[in-house]
Structure 1
Amino acid sequence: MRRRRHGYRNHHRAPVTTAATPRGEEVTNVRTQVDNPIIDWRKDDDGVVVLTLDDPTQEVNTVHKGFVAELTKVVARLQAEREELSGVVITSGKSTFVAGGDLNEIVGLGGEDAAAFTAHLNHIKAQLRTLETLGIPVVAAINGSALGGGLELALAAHHRLVVDAPRLQVGLPEVGLGLLPASGGIVRTVRMLGVRAALDSVLLSGRRFRPEEALKIGLVDELVGSADDLLPRAKQWIAEHPEAAQPWDRKGFAIPGGSPSGGPLFAELTFLSSTLRAKTAGAPVPEQRAILAAAVEGAQVDIDTAGLIESRYFVEIAIAPIAKNRINLTFFDLQRIKSGASRPAHAPVHRFSSVGVVGAGMMGAGIAYAAAKAGFDVVLVDTSLEAAEKGRAYSAKVAARAVDRGQRTQADADALVARITATDRIADLGGADFIIEAVFENLALKAAVFGEIDRVVGQEAVLGSNTSTLPITSLAAGVDRPQDFVGVHFFSPVDRMPLVEIIRGESTSDDTLANAFDLVLQLGKTPIVVNDSRGFFTSRVIIARLNEAVAMLGEGVPAASIEQAALQMGYPAGPLQLLDELTLTLPRDVREEARAAAEAAGESWTAHPCHAVFDRLIDELGRVGRAGGGGFYDYDEQGRRNGFWSGLAEQFPNQAPCPPLRDLSERLLFAEVLEAWAAHAAGVIESSWDANVGSLMGIGFPAWTGGVLRFLDQYDGGKAGFVARAEQLAARYGERFRPPASLVDAAGRPELSA
């Protein structure tokens, strides 16, 4: 299980995996006065103290309160004995250097903790300032990933050595958790790289850098070939630089690129601020604005004052709900999924080696690439060899782009493509462990394809369908082994989208569900588990948003206002733009399938206000989306958007007054949340973490909310506040916003948490 994803991480007890600590000559090993210390003190005969970070209570080192307490003692000892020391080397006894801070400490912060936590951060900064001003050289010997607080510790050293290992990463990724660096990361990167470079390259991007990339931008100073080279080279550097000091502690220091207070940099930062506003489109991203402010303000004062500024911005962000939502969503919920919380616990873990993909169109080709990239042998089948080869060529194209970016060697790219066998013969699937059908979204077609597949594959092969809406139970009815049939819904483009929705049919066995879960993890993607229902979870939730946007258009709301309402709420793209990409016929096809199923079951069918708008656009106006030459937007010959179609204003004239922007934004949010709640209440999706992560990774629900179900509890007034607002929207815009009895009941019972 991969866990090292963020600069801050959970503080948990776990078995310790210890990597060999670099050793030099014969030493006298002297420990700090702590049983099983987190920081091992060893003074060598040359006067160099080697501090090895090796927390006995954790799988990885993190910057928790116990770590800080021990660091304080070690720094005090270094200060007391500095006249006897020639230098300090900081390294790790684990496979990582330091993974970052303690997320439990962060999510537990409230307003009443602000003063105490500010003092705690300033205390950490004081220890790092003492370390870098000891008057003796300090070297960080980084043998594994150093993220967040781990890199901040290393930045306080005078020289940073890093093992040039392909999986090692360094960076300050806090922005991805809705936070900002809190232990001098902003202060020191600004002084090392300059304000603009630090913001662009490191702080606002939250990028994790490979060793060579980190060296190039200046986060680290030197690469070594292996962990065994770290200590000898560190000692050599110490001997060569006995008077080492930080650049900002030397007389005459100036921040690279100049001060933000005037001159060219002032104009650059003004442009950067404008760019940030344009990029975020007004979405709630307080951490990015806080990073920008802390960097600019901190660059105009001394380093210690800059540290105080950084602390205050951090605490302001950390005690607010958005950061907690981001942490819960992108770390804790994701950790639950990756640890198998939704996987049948008793089923043995299965490792697959070969995958068969039927259908070499956009989705099938993408799935084949993902499988080959993960090391699987892939058989890619289509109705003609030409079509299958075209699908295989897609992998060659994506792999070539990775080579151009330096992310893959040409030999690796060639090997990846070679793992894919293109064929027009279903019989060639015979040896595959897991079959994934990815043909056109049509029940009869998929049933016919599985009839052929079932005759040629082995009895142990898992049968999977990449469908976004069609019920798995109905598809499984056409095969002899419905217990081995499961839905595996990938998202487009497969090579970039991290989510896979696993759908359990009525007959799907626990072992089959577990096998699908294991396959998705082996593909390096994130699985969520849902039960069978038309549209499953993600499709029905996103369609609720898209339908609401089209209903607004039909009411005469300007298209630009609809798109802006979505962007300002934090959606990655406007719903009309997204519909053009998907094609307008897709939601209509889904609607007609659902209507037919309801009528066949003798159930009532309720029309949505968007239906007439879709029909008019498609049938009367011939606007079907980007693939058809135009939808809500116009496109040039190369398929690039050229702005809204001029006919929209004529066909759907604006009405005054336009509804408030808040109403427009919340109609999109509430449409999705109400649909998600209905799916959750009906047992379609059982866990809130699957719903929250699925809504973020699969359909772009705004990350600041913490996910589609957490939004209920985070709305002003909690579930009761949400229900009251939904009733208001229902009175203004229609019964589809009327909260169901199950939600009203839950709102009156706070112990019912989504």
Structure 2
Amino acid sequence: MNTFKYQKDDNGIVVITMDMNGPVNAINDEFCREMSEALDTLEKESDLSGVVFTSAKDTFFAGGDLNMLMAMEPGDERKIFDTVEANKSLFRRLEKLPVPVVAAISGAALGGGYELCLASNYRVCVDNPRIEIGLPEVSLGLLPGAGGVVRLTNLIGLEAALPLLLEGKKVRPQQALKTGLIDATVQSKDELISHCKAWLVNNKGNGEVAIQPWDKKGFKIPGGNINRPSIAQTVAMAPHMLLKKTRGLLPAPEAILDTAAQAVTVNFDTALRRESRKFASLPVTPVAKNMMSAFFFQLNQINGGGSRPDVKTKFTFKKIGVIGAGMMGQGIAAVAAGLGIEVVLKDVSIDAAEKGKAYTAKVYDKKIARGRATEQDKEQALSLIIATDNDEDLKGCELVVEAVFEDMSLKHKVLTGSEQFLTEDGIWASNTSTLPITQLAEPSHKPENFIGLHFFSPVDKMPLVEIICGEKTSDATLAKAFDFVQQIKKTPIVVNDSVGFFTSRTFASQLQEAATMVSEGIHPVRVDNLGKAIGMPVGPLTVNDEVSLTIGIKVRETQVAAGLIKAEDDRWPEGNKLIEKLVKEHNRGGRYHGEGGYFNYVDGDKAIWPQLLDMYYDSTVDISDSDIKDRLLFINVIESLLCLEQGVLKSVADANIGSIFGIGAPIWTGGYIQFVNSYGLERFQARCEELAEKYGERFKAPAIVGKKIAAGELFL
């Protein structure tokens, strides 16, 4: 053993400290070699009384080797199966040792790391709220393949295991203890090994503790097996419920459900083999490759600072200002204060500012009701928010985020009245979704300290912030903005200046294409349903109703008036005419404005506004479902490609993560640019030509696609 440190004490207890090459411990060839050698030694020990597995890393164990899985192609299923079975044989040998095995969890134990814990007889974790435990493989398009599905189902029962497996939940130590994922906690890392050894000493000679529950004669799965009516009903009904959620687009949840059902139907070792077969079918699929690429490699690239300038000093903010206590401003204040940052929340009146501050109380009341916060947490956050109508209270702020309405002159007025109160090297950020940062910065005395921070609503729930650099924005300002976004635990993407930047212009293209289809006579419900069928969280017309048709019109009119866009360059003239007609002639601005846009809302029920059908629906329109679905999907992809081609997007990773986290790209795509890779560049270009011939030039593939084809490259 080279990277497994093997230490045996006078009580016959062996502590194996995993310290593999690289930043984390992971299931790979090195692990298999080290674990095999460790087991060979343990199986030969004559006076062994117990084993403790712990880690020298900050994490306990990180999981499997995704680089290896990404390299797998169709036809490699048998190779994957054999590899997984080899890993499982090690875990099976571990749990069949004649002495108890303890997992001493000092850091995150996710995926394969927690599967190692499941193969242990006793699991102890440091009670640190930063530690996460779970089996999140479904979020990567995979299933837990080293026994995780089968063992967790046997440990806590099918009904308790399914939510953890199908949603890939990561839980903190106290919740893990409550749900039975671990057996005990200790207060500090210093106590961990001594607690594990004490448990082994207390149970020395007790052969029962060395046998896994599922290996004991007469074992019954908690909650029952397939012969219990309630379990049989769950197995029968769960596929229908899952299909409603995944719409048949995600293979991994279906494979997990089938594997868990097998775990309550066949014997333990047979269930393990079936789990391996299901696992082997997933890594070769485009969906798994897309999800691994986006949610592991590219997300890690972004969170690791891939888009941050090379500015060595990392800045920590202590005091910020937020101007505008409306929906966005109050959300920014709540998030920042909740993480210990002093916030000056300023509006035109004290009443408006106090109302914005009260939003934080509402956020915490919901958290308290769910057991995720305490009254003390709420009071602490509220104590950090100063509600005011006085610009001078912004004095000493290291950052001011302006979150007023999308009006250039209003934003200029706010800037000139408040910028002077920033600290000497403080930065100013506009929470704008569409207006160019370079023009917003024109009145600034320090345009190099001006940047865009585009938050998404609701701020306390949405994980993304789009950082926009103006022409004069300095690297130091960008680095500070990046640090702030990470300080408030959001994911930052960085883009260059333009009208609508990346997310807003891409999102708008989807809404305008949907409106165009309605103007062509296609039934609105069909448009919405087929939007959901490709994996959008909700239909595009419903989204437009929720975000407001009125705002879209006002933003466009503002852009035209400011000379940012030309009315005659509209690529969706009929769709935009429809939206304007709904708003200006029929006072249907969206749900927020009382009257819905496309829909009526009565007592929580939603139905198409009948007059919309009278004006536009044409039952003779002949268009296939596949064309509708591709129009809704491809228009987003094309707009994203244009942003990349025009230099608005700085990286493919920013495009993919931004599209998923910010504007609801279907997760099976891996993001709108990654979709082109898995669809095939030549095939994508050809399909764009077909759509362009039928529906307009807006569907032509951007030139960057042809360049990639000629170079034989993917979008990476």
TM-score, normalised relative to structure 2: 0.96
1:604 to partner: Cα distance? 4.9
Q: 1:211 aligns with which of 161, 165, 173?
A: 173
- Distance (Å, rounded) in 1 between the aligned partners of 2:536 and 2:616: 24
2:244 alignment counterpart: 278
The reply on whether 1:690 has 2:654 as its aligned counterpart is: yes
Q: Is the 8 A contact 2:521 2:617 kept in 1?
A: yes
SS in 2 for 1:609: helix
- Distance (Å, rounded) in 2 between the aligned partners of 1:740 and 1:584: 28
Q: 1:484-521 CA distances to partner (integer Å, 9 max, x unpaired)?
A: 11111111100011111111111212221222111111
1:641 to partner: Cα distance? 4.2
CA gap of 1:514–1:739, structure 2 versus 1, over 3 A, is same
2:612 alignment counterpart: 648
Q: Is the 8 A contact 2:55 2:106 kept in 1?
A: yes
Q: 1:729 aligns with which of 678, 688, 691?
A: 691
SS in 1 for 2:52: strand
Question: What residue identity is the alignment partner of 1:367?
Answer: I
Q: 1:288 aligns with which of 249, 253, 277?
A: 253
1:673 alignment counterpart: 637
- Distance (Å, rounded) in 2 between the aligned partners of 1:151 and 1:604: 55
- Distance (Å, rounded) in 1 between the aligned partners of 2:591 and 2:580: 17
- Distance (Å, rounded) in 2 between the aligned partners of 1:137 and 1:264: 34
1:211 to partner: Cα distance? 1.4
Where structure 1 has 5 or more consecutive residues not aligned to the other structure, the ranges are 1-33
The reply on whether 1:720 has 2:685 as its aligned counterpart is: no
Q: Is the 8 A contact 2:513 2:572 kept in 1?
A: no
Q: Is the 8 A contact 2:512 2:572 kept in 1?
A: no
- Distance (Å, rounded) in 2 between the aligned partners of 1:516 and 1:281: 38
CA gap of 1:483–1:65, structure 2 versus 1, over 3 A, is same
* The 10-residue stretch of structure 1 (88-97 or 724-733) with the greater mean CA deviation from structure 2: 88-97
SS in 2 for 1:318: coil
Q: 1:186 aligns with which of 149, 152, 165?
A: 149
2:212 alignment counterpart: 246
CA gap of 1:133–1:391, structure 2 versus 1, over 3 A, is same
* The 10-residue stretch of structure 1 (413-422 or 334-343) with the greater mean CA deviation from structure 2: 334-343
Q: Is the 8 A contact 1:357 1:368 kept in 2?
A: yes
Q: 1:185-217 CA distances to partner (integer Å, 9 max, x unpaired)?
A: 0111111122222112x2112111111211221
1:423 to partner: Cα distance? 0.3
The reply on whether 1:526 has 2:491 as its aligned counterpart is: yes
Question: What residue identity is the alignment partner of 2:207?
Answer: P
2:14 alignment counterpart: 49
- Distance (Å, rounded) in 2 between the aligned partners of 1:645 and 1:262: 47
1:256 to partner: Cα distance? 2.4
Question: What residue identity is the alignment partner of 1:701?
Answer: A
Equivalent residue runs for 1:493-642 within 5 Å: 493-597=458-562, 604=569, 606-629=571-594, 630-636=596-602, 640-642=604-606
Q: 2:104 aligns with which of 127, 131, 141?
A: 141
1:138 to partner: Cα distance? 1.6
1:662 to partner: Cα distance? 1.6
Q: 2:193 aligns with which of 219, 225, 231?
A: 231
- Distance (Å, rounded) in 2 between the aligned partners of 1:147 and 1:231: 20
- Equivalences, count: 711
SS in 2 for 1:585: helix
1:658 to partner: Cα distance? 4.7
CA gap of 1:597–1:641, structure 2 versus 1, over 3 A, is farther
SS in 1 for 2:556: helix
Q: 1:222 aligns with which of 153, 168, 184?
A: 184
* The 10-residue stretch of structure 1 (438-447 or 259-268) with the greater mean CA deviation from structure 2: 259-268
SS in 2 for 1:96: coil
Question: What residue identity is the alignment partner of 1:127?
Answer: L
Question: What residue identity is the alignment partner of 1:520?
Answer: V
Q: Is the 8 A contact 2:499 2:564 kept in 1?
A: no
1:550 to partner: Cα distance? 1.0
Question: What residue identity is the alignment partner of 2:182?
Answer: V
* The 10-residue stretch of structure 1 (212-221 or 235-244) with the greater mean CA deviation from structure 2: 235-244
Q: Is the 8 A contact 2:311 2:479 kept in 1?
A: no
Question: What residue identity is the alignment partner of 1:633?
Answer: F
- Distance (Å, rounded) in 2 between the aligned partners of 1:208 and 1:694: 22
Q: Is the 8 A contact 1:143 1:162 kept in 2?
A: yes
The reply on whether 1:356 has 2:318 as its aligned counterpart is: no
CA gap of 1:222–1:348, structure 2 versus 1, over 3 A, is closer
Question: What residue identity is the alignment partner of 1:730?
Answer: A
CA gap of 1:742–1:128, structure 2 versus 1, over 3 A, is closer
SS in 1 for 2:26: coil
- Distance (Å, rounded) in 2 between the aligned partners of 1:742 and 1:120: 39
CA gap of 1:326–1:728, structure 2 versus 1, over 3 A, is same
Q: 1:450-492 CA distances to partner (integer Å, 9 max, x unpaired)?
A: 1101243343221110000011111111222211111111111
- Distance (Å, rounded) in 2 between the aligned partners of 1:193 and 1:658: 52
SS in 2 for 1:460: strand
Q: Is the 8 A contact 1:356 1:435 kept in 2?
A: yes
Question: What residue identity is the alignment partner of 2:24?
Answer: V
- Distance (Å, rounded) in 2 between the aligned partners of 1:598 and 1:587: 17
- Distance (Å, rounded) in 1 between the aligned partners of 2:688 and 2:264: 46
- Distance (Å, rounded) in 1 between the aligned partners of 2:491 and 2:282: 28
* The 10-residue stretch of structure 1 (725-734 or 596-605) with the greater mean CA deviation from structure 2: 596-605
- Distance (Å, rounded) in 1 between the aligned partners of 2:469 and 2:346: 25
1:591 to partner: Cα distance? 2.6
Q: 1:388 aligns with which of 349, 353, 370?
A: 353
1:606 to partner: Cα distance? 4.9
1:626 to partner: Cα distance? 0.7
2:293 alignment counterpart: 328
What is the RMSD of the two structures over their aligned residues, measured on CA atoms? 1.9
CA gap of 1:108–1:236, structure 2 versus 1, over 3 A, is same
Equivalent residue runs for 1:348-427 within 5 Å: 348-427=313-392
Q: 1:536-558 CA distances to partner (integer Å, 9 max, x unpaired)?
A: 11000010011111111112222
- Distance (Å, rounded) in 1 between the aligned partners of 2:61 and 2:714: 38
SS in 1 for 2:307: coil
Q: 1:342 aligns with which of 307, 318, 333?
A: 307
TM-score, normalised relative to structure 1: 0.91
Q: 1:155 aligns with which of 114, 118, 129?
A: 118
Question: What residue identity is the alignment partner of 1:71?
Answer: M
1:599 to partner: Cα distance? 8.2
* The 10-residue stretch of structure 1 (595-604 or 536-545) with the greater mean CA deviation from structure 2: 595-604
CA gap of 1:672–1:607, structure 2 versus 1, over 3 A, is closer
- Distance (Å, rounded) in 1 between the aligned partners of 2:519 and 2:105: 59
Q: 1:380-425 CA distances to partner (integer Å, 9 max, x unpaired)?
A: 1000000001111111211222222222222222111111100000
- Distance (Å, rounded) in 1 between the aligned partners of 2:392 and 2:621: 63
Where structure 2 has 5 or more consecutive residues not aligned to the other structure, the ranges are none
- Distance (Å, rounded) in 2 between the aligned partners of 1:130 and 1:170: 23
- Distance (Å, rounded) in 1 between the aligned partners of 2:84 and 2:426: 55
2:700 alignment counterpart: 738
CA gap of 1:392–1:606, structure 2 versus 1, over 3 A, is same
Q: Is the 8 A contact 1:499 1:526 kept in 2?
A: yes
- Distance (Å, rounded) in 2 between the aligned partners of 1:735 and 1:590: 24
- Distance (Å, rounded) in 1 between the aligned partners of 2:87 and 2:644: 44
Q: Is the 8 A contact 1:598 1:604 kept in 2?
A: no
